[in-house]
Amino acid sequence: MAKTFYSLGYNLADQFCMSMSILSVNGREYPSENYDEKVLNLTSWWTPSTSLDISARLTLKRSEIMADCSLNAQDEIFVSLYSYCSGTKLQHHGQAKLLVSNDIELELNIPPFELAEEIDLYALITVRLDPAIERRLGAPTISNSRLLRKSWKIALAGSRTQANVVLLDFSKDPRTSKAMWNIKISDGYDLDSWLSAQHSSVLRIEVNRNYEDYIEQQQFKILLMTDIVILSLARAIADDEKLTYLQNNEIAEGSWAQFVKTMYLSVFSIGELGVKQKWQDNQNEIRARVQHQMSENLELK
């Protein structure tokens, strides 16, 4: 098959010469038929205080890389992992390993509190050249030249996927003094703004300071999440324009509309008729289903 070479003054390896075959994060394996088409989602368990241990097994076509890049047999190919986090703008690097076969296992450790929102995980193939050997046409001329780089996105959690959470003194208002939380959803958007809004600009969770300790417990988080889902669905279903979006196959840009649609599809299906009436008539069943799903998301079974 004819190959396309993107030249930096030397030949780069073909994208198909490297693929991810196994990826695990903190001991959890995330199997995929094609990692290139998948965003790895850690939002159900990742928090900023989590240290990330990423292990990846890559499958490479070593002989093709050697041929594509006009390398000599004595030249050494190295492979490494590194990450870039757009939330904190920090890079983290793993150890480069010499490629001796067509498979290689790589590791990357990222300390706690240095990540936010999402990371791009990069695998990088570089070469260490034997200076005594004359370079062939198309070969890189400097050691550490990049032969191929691929990246995969890993979604964490952050301002794009999380609400604003604030602990408040509820005792001042006798009507709410015994409430555990107050969920505020800003609906002051036209449809276009709503479709592109992130969680942090829509959702604010006020937690009663007296129940600060409870809110960390999984069973209360499930109830809180259930309340958020039920409230957000109620608002969206009541609005004809938003309901139209929920009932079609379009995907919104904003994380909030994406979240509402995901939740909607766990209760209703695309094109389903009579949604408003069913929503009214089946509140208890819907709530029970959402609560069950939230307990699965938080892995409390």
Partner 1 sequence: MKLSYRYLPLEVALSEIGAVRAGEIDVIANLGKEDFHLRPFTDQGVSQERLIEIRTNLFSLLGVRTDDVLDIPSRTDFDSIFTMNSQLLLHDLNPIDGFSKDVWSYLTLRVLPDFALWRWPDNAEERFLGGAERSCFQRLWQRAYILGPGLASELQEDEAVNIFERPEALGGNKRLSKIFAEYIINNRGVTGGKSGDKIISTKIVKQAAKRLRRTMSVQAVQTMSDNELSAHIANTFKDAFEYENSK
Instruction: Name which of 208, 259, 214, 220 is nearest 236 in CA terms.
Output: 259
Q: Does residue 150 bind partner 1 (CB under 8 A)?
A: no
Q: Does residue 212 bind partner 1 (CB under 8 A)?
A: yes
Tokens of 26: 């903190």
Q: Hey, is 266 helix, strand or coil?
A: helix
Distance CA 42, CA 285 (A): 29
The set of residues, in sequence order, having a beta carbon less than 8 Å from that of 141 and lying 6+ positions away, is 9, 10, 129, 135
Contact (Cβ atoms closer than 8 angstroms) between residue 270 and residue 244:
no
User: Residues 151-180: x/- map of binding to partner 1 (CB under 8 A)?
Assistant: ------x----xxxxxxxx-----------
**Among 42, 52, 78, 268, which residue sits at the site for partner 1 (rule: CB under 8 A)?**
78
Q: Does residue 296 bind partner 1 (CB under 8 A)?
A: no
Distance CA 221, CA 77 (A): 48
Q: Does residue 93 bind partner 1 (CB under 8 A)?
A: yes
Instruction: Name which of 115, 5, 132 is nearest 65 in CA terms.
Output: 5
- How wide is the angle at C-alpha 267 spanned by C-alphas 195 and 199, nearest 5°? 30
**Among 21, 32, 88, 291, which residue sits at the site for partner 1 (rule: CB under 8 A)?**
88
Smallest distance, partner 1 to C-beta of residue 143, A: 8
Smallest distance, partner 1 to C-beta of residue 256, A: 15
**Among 70, 114, 210, 287, which residue sits at the site for partner 1 (rule: CB under 8 A)?**
114
Tokens of 159: 């301002």
**Among 19, 41, 59, 91, which residue sits at the site for partner 1 (rule: CB under 8 A)?**
91
State which residue, 96 or 179, has the beta carbon closest to partner 1.
Answer: 96
Residues making contact with partner 1 (CB under 8 A): 8-9, 47-49, 78, 80, 82, 84-85, 87-91, 93, 96, 113-116, 122, 124, 126, 140, 142-146, 149, 157, 162-169, 204, 212, 216
